[in-house]
Amino acid sequence: MAVIEVQHPLVKHKIGLMREADISTKKFRELTGEVARLLAYEATADFPLEKTTIECWSGPTEIDQIAGRKVTVVPILRAGLGMLDGVLDMMPNAKVSVVGLARDHETLKPVNYFDRFVGQLDERTALIIDPMLATAGSMIATIDLLKARGCKDIRALVLVAAPEGVKALTAAHPEVRCWTAAIDSHLNEQGYIIPGLGDAGDKIFGTK
């Protein structure tokens, strides 16, 4: 399964709170960061460890550390920025690549208006972050850009996914795993996830 719905009670509780229609910008932002941290925890569970010896207070001691893995976090502008600090809390040494995409409201197709990638993408794990996987057009376009630059280990974190997006992403990039806090019912005619969160970018930035 390319899209993994995380069942952890903390994730379920927090994503439920985010659905409140009159939630404040402050609370929505805080919960976005908290769920992002928990999704990052799940998505990195298979990172390999290696042993190293350090000088502990009680003498030389063997500890585990993550085995030389380079990570780039890839927020999709603009709403993906809301998840960035939470993910970087977990991986403070990760580099950040940025992709600017906005959905055309008529066609629902993503329009690329900016991208800036870090180097050595062929050696990195990319963790794409975006709160919403609706049609999956934005996610598929971002994965296409990363693959074109040689990235081989691509993972994604989204807060809410629509079944239509799950199907499209799985068909386009079956090897890319995507962790989500919820797979919702469907997309409405405007391409919004139902029940969903509404417009995640507007809620994070306080626009509209």
The residue ranges that bind ligand PRP (CB under 6 A) are 76, 78-79, 101-103, 108, 110, 130-139, 165, 191, 200-201
* Residue 144 annotated as binding site: no
Residue 31 interface partner, choices ligand PRP, ligand URA, none, CB cut-off 5-8 Å depending on type: none
Minimum CB separation of residue 126 from ligand PRP in Å reads 16
Identify the three-state secondary structure at position 121: helix
Residue 23: name its binding partner from ligand PRP, ligand URA, none (Cβ under 5 to 8 Å by kind): none
Taking each continuous run of H as one helix and of E as one strand, the counts in the chain are 6, 13
For residue 49, the Cα-to-chain-centroid distance in whole angstroms is: 23
Residue 198 is labelled as binding a ligand: yes
**Binding partner of residue 130 among ligand URA, ligand PRP, none, CB under 5 to 8 Å per kind?**
ligand PRP
Any idea of the CA torsion for 41, 43, 47, 52, to the nearest 10 degrees?
-10
Q: Which helix (H) or strand (E) holds 51?
A: strand 49-56
Q: Which is nearer to ligand URA, 26 or 105 (CB)?
A: 105
Q: Which residues bind ligand URA (CB under 6 A)?
A: 132, 134, 191-193, 196, 199-201
CA nearest to 139, candidates 105, 177, 106, 183? 177
